[in-house]
Chain A
Amino acid sequence: MEFSELIRTGRAEALLLPGPGQSPVRGTLCITSHHLLLSAGHGSPSDLWLLLRNVDAVEKRAAGNSGTITLKCKDLNVLQLEIEGLEETLDIAGSIEALSSLESVTTSYPFFYRPQSLKLGDAEDLHPPDHFYQQVALETNGWRLSTVNRDFYVCASYPTALVVPRGIGDEVLARSARFRQGGRFPVLCYYHSINGTVMLRSSQPLQGANRRRCAEDEELLKAALAQGGGRGLVLDTRSAQAVKQARITGGGTEAKAAYPGWKRLHRPLERGRPLQDSFVRLVEACTDPSLSMDRWLSRLDGCRWLTHVKEALTTACLAAQGMDREGVCILVHGAEGTDATLLVTSLTQLILDPKCRTLRGFQSLLEREWIQAGHPFQQRCAHSAYAQGRPKHEAPIFLLFLDCVWQLSRQFPLSLEFGEGMLLALFEHAYASPFGTFLCNSEKERYLCEVKTKTHSLWSSLNQSKERKRLCNPIYSPNPLALWPSVEPQSLQLWAGLFLRWTRPPEPAQEAWEQLWKIVTEKEVADPL
């Protein structure tokens, strides 16, 4: 396919209407295969350089001999362009629509992006697949690294290397995988070194209406329990009612009789359509230009987004409490085990493990618990809150995770090494990025598309020292304790930095951030004295 076929008019004169606190830009608009460029000439700093992948929805309106295009971006920004010439307007809108929704991964921008400061493949050693196992092996020898999934045959959404109880052979894993949806058999995802309890995750067992059992699956969980202290809790992220429904279609949950030592708890978390709807309604409320805002709070309430934040944090706290305070092993799963499950396991680790709260540690948590663990980023983040039409697989579960982390960072302002800038960057890159890190739905797909060798890693870009001020928390001081967040309603707040980012001038917060950095760098300069 040639990109040029999709670009009917490459150039036009246009005016970008200003957002709050900005000035308008008039200049030449240019559509390339991956970008929209609006330049006032001479490399002016106000030039617009928009990745087309970032466009979520295009609206066009004609008026006489000119037109207006409204670009609603995945990062929630809304851009308005006035374009000279009616035909140009329609052509450009059509090109943007076509180019922004290309489905092929290998023609996407990351496969063409070649920044000078980075080398291809330089992130390969940042998060090696066996790194997590090496860490665990330092603490205990109860676990081993299995390569049963080396060719993605046992489980298409798992990575090649997985950590399992030492006494469990690969053939047992393979059989357990057949008893789990999508082959996601229980694997270790966190070892709590303080008391040796563990957290595992999986997908639902394929129990079905006639309550099938699987001896190997039972053996696997029994062995895990033996390693982790004897008492276990299955945290099912669905309601008991939803599990009953799932049984009809072949799914289910762990029967008490079959898994001695494991108790079960249902903590229903929203996912899929309802979560996407909540996101869409929240963004609608945040961008509603009507001035009668006296119903804002009840509208915010009605979106239920903060309720989802609260539920996610509460569930993670529950898991963390079980491990840390009661010495219980936790197995987390819902149905597929690729959404709410990962939300809970990753949040639990942030709460308990100080290593996850550094810039590098957080990246490796994301790499392990989201990317390699098979969260289907391509499907979930295909569209953001503005897309028209019924969502197919979109759901802002990763954004919900970032929001929960932001709540943690607000309640524990010193304990995370990274700041809001990092969370905003992750949100943007998950939805549209020049880097390959969030491409595809699984390691297998990434392997087939050669993502790791043909695209640059977001991590190597973020780890450049020039990014430090934007991403890092200047007042970070390592906190060895668990972070128990308050989930009281008054403690949780709307993440204004993200949801209201484009509707208010950003300077004051920016200034405070810079001032903070200034004080801290002054300190660093003063310290060697």
Chain B
Amino acid sequence: MPSSRDGFTRDLCEEIPRLPGETRITDKEVIYICPFNGPIKGRVYITNYRLYLRSLETDSGALLDIPLGVIARVEKMGGASSRGENSYGLDITCKDMRNLRFALKQEGHSRRDIFEVLTKYAFPRSHGLPLFAFLNEEKFPENGWMVYNPIEEYRRQGLPNGQWRVSFVNKRFEMCETYPSILVVPYHSTDDDLRRVATFRSRNRIPVLSWIHPENKNVIMRCSQPLVGMGGKRNKDDEKYLDIIREANGQISKLAIFDARPSVNAVANKATGGGYESDDVYHNAEIFFLDIHNIHVMRESLRKLKDIVYPNVEESHWLSSLESTHWLEHVKFVLTGAIQVADKVASGRSSVLVHCSDGWDRTAQLTSLAMLMLDSYYRTIAGFEVLIQKEWISFGHKFASRIGHGEKNYADTDRSPIFLQFMDCVWQMSKQFPTAFEFNEQFLITILDNLYSCRFGTFLFNSEYAREKEKVMMKTLSLWSMINSDKGKYTNPFYTKELNRALYPVASMRHLELWVNYYIRWNTRMRQQQPNPVEQRYVELLALRDEYVKRLEEMKMTNSAKLSSSSASSSATSQMMPHVQTPF
């Protein structure tokens, strides 16, 4: 820590919040060009985890406190000869819908150091440095790595059973590098069968079970596209395998295959060796295309959305501008697709197989949303964590590539907001069913913030294989450790527990809303709302409810105590009784 030698800066430095394991790198006087309140003179502090800005004009706390992982790009603006006020400095693009701009003094290359430090610590993987998650020494009472245990989760679903078995064919990731080591497959397929099927599926991602309906035993399967190619290749093992899946629930109906792509794209994929299951070959299957576009389209759509909401919201024709981003339309297609998948399974008509091209983006969106609609367990805090851990993390959604953790290549075309889009769909559902989810909006936003922060190991790397190699579970903390240690903060007080009700959101454009509290949260004009926001009231209500439940328990205790030994009741408790009896 270079500047801690002089006492003055150390004093200031004391005031910067730091996580255990976080070290300070540098600080600098800058002018923060706030897009809402104009230029503010401040001092920026850079640690190996965050960028922190304190105003030098007022005594207010942090103006900015941003994990460096959020930064997508750092640019120099203006040159040594630039004229005009505040024209020389740094321009920072963030992954969470905002940009930052700092002006510095033009004399003596004053921005060089800070530019270099920022670049180095915001993009540690491009500089041979570890991600902060590997340095973080926080301690939490809960251990989030214990949240998901695949065997337990499958057991919860009633698996294995007479039709489905657990396979260890991928134990050391030898069959498929991007799949987890534990898979659930048809009982009547041998591991050798699976290996043969793998040769016909893109990146060996064979159809495996994601979820089984507790009553009608229909299943949701996921996989990648078949390697049909221009020549229309066939694979007997794959065809047989799908037939076994179809028959596993004891029904004779056709297997429904949901290809997430628009059909033209599915056809176009033949040119690169992919394709889809045509019904001339798969007689017992029926294919539906869900018209969801690819990662590049989604990235472009979100970029347009950012353009109209940051820094200022497009005032005239706001709704038309919003429409022209197509963001909500894409959300609609994802939700509609998931509804079709869920409905097919729930209505008892048939099992479904979901895939796109590689089966790790749109497929993950569809299976996890359908599961959220069908299984109330996933609507609890613990269940939602399992859902993300299972359908996204363990099945190889390429978080590292899609987010670009610690990488400087902001223009990487592998980046795309697929997970954000999924979370948007979840938010839309929670809006339409305000009592059905145990978690609140804060929970969703916290997950998204830590998608970028690199404070936890949860979203790092592309696959289980890579995470095992990097010993993520040993060397980093889980996001769920933090969340589960402070659950009250993320709990929806209106949650009413109910089992096995399928939730079908209305996916019409009329009923979808822009998630303003996420996408436009940096706009300070949005924030000047009531001094006691409804969140606070939620918390109050929650506390009341807990207290009430506690009292009720106490009553029950004293009541049963009274029943067993009638002499033991105190006068105080007997006075309390009449009030509580009424609502029951």
Contacts and interface: CB of A to CB of B under 8 A. Distances in A.
Interface in A281-330: 286, 293-298, 300-302, 306
B319 A489 contact: yes
Contacts of A286: 510
B42 interface: no
Contact of B526 (A301, A479, A488, A528): A488
Given A526-B547, A529-B551, A306 B319 contact: yes
B323 A297 contact: yes
A448 interface: no
Name the 7 nearest CB pairs between A and B, nearest first: A489-B318, A512-B434, A297-B323, A301-B319, A296-B509, A293-B509, A298-B320
Interface stretch (A124-132, A165-173, A513-521): A513-521
> Which of A411, A413, A493, A519 has the most chain B CB atoms closer than 10 A to its own CB?
A519
28 contacts: A286-B510, A293-B508, A293-B510, A294-B509, A296-B323, A297-B319, A298-B320, A298-B323, A301-B323, A306-B319, A414-B530, A486-B525, A486-B526, A488-B313, A488-B525, A489-B313, A490-B526, A509-B434, A511-B435, A511-B496, A515-B435, A519-B493, A521-B583, A522-B548, A526-B544, A526-B547, A526-B548, A529-B551
Given A504-B506, A508-B433, A516-B494, A301 B576 contact: no
A512 B547 contact: no
B511 interface: yes
A295 B329 CA distance: 10
Interface size class of A (residues with CB under 8 A): 35 or more
Contacts of A39: none
A239 interface: no
A489 B320 contact: no
Interface string B542-566: 0011011001000000000000000
Interface stretch (B372-380, B419-427, B477-485, B531-539): B531-539
A152 interface: no
Contacts of B511: 496, 500, 504
A9 interface: no
A287 to B, nearest CB: 10
B523 interface: yes
Contact of B576 (A296, A412, A500, A529): A529
Contacts of B545: 519, 522
Contact of A414 (B506, B532, B580): B532
Contacts of A479: 530, 532
A503 interface: yes
B257 to A, nearest CB: 24
Interface stretch (B115-123, B187-195, B263-271, B513-521): B513-521
B436 interface: yes
A493 B509 contact: no
A180 to B, nearest CB: 36
A301 B316 CA distance: 10
A297 B322 contact: yes
Nearest to B514: A490
A500 B313 CA distance: 26
A475 B541 contact: yes
B442 to A, nearest CB: 16
A294 B329 contact: yes
A138 interface: no
Contact of A508 (B320, B435, B530, B580): B435
Interface residues of B, number: 50
Interface of B: 309, 313-315, 317-320, 322-323, 328-329, 432-436, 493-494, 496, 506, 508-511, 513-514, 516, 520, 523, 525-526, 528-532, 534, 537, 541, 544-545, 547-548, 551, 576, 579-580, 582-583
Contacts of A414: 530, 532, 534, 537
A302 B493 CA distance: 38
A195 interface: no
B528 A486 contact: yes
Nearest to A288: B510
Nearest to A505: B506
B236 to A, nearest CB: 41
Contacts of B541: 475, 519-520, 523
A491 B514 CA distance: 10
A278 interface: no
A477 B536 CA distance: 12
Contacts of A481: 531
A489 B320 CA distance: 11
B325 to A, nearest CB: 10
Interface in A379-415: 411-415
B320 A503 contact: no
A300 B436 CA distance: 29
A477 B531 CA distance: 12
A525 B582 CA distance: 8
A111 interface: no
Given A293-B510, A519-B545, A528-B579, 14 more contacts: A298-B323, A301-B320, A306-B319, A413-B530, A414-B537, A486-B528, A489-B318, A508-B436, A519-B494, A523-B541, A523-B548, A526-B548, A526-B580, A529-B579
A484 interface: yes
Contacts of B529: 411-412, 486
B440 to A, nearest CB: 13
Given A286-B510, A295-B323, A522-B545, A512 B494 contact: yes
B319 A493 contact: no
B428 to A, nearest CB: 12
Nearest to B505: A508
B319 A488 contact: no
A483 B548 CA distance: 32
A490 B323 contact: no
Contacts of A293: 508-510
A295 B323 CA distance: 7
Nearest to A496: B511
A489 B315 contact: yes
B317 A484 contact: no
B359 to A, nearest CB: 27
A525 B579 CA distance: 6
A376 to B, nearest CB: 32
A244 to B, nearest CB: 26
Chain B CB count within 10 A is highest, among A477, A483, A484, A486, for A486
A14 B531 CA distance: 55
Given A412-B530, A479-B530, A522-B545, A515 B496 contact: yes
A414 B529 CA distance: 11
A11 to B, nearest CB: 38
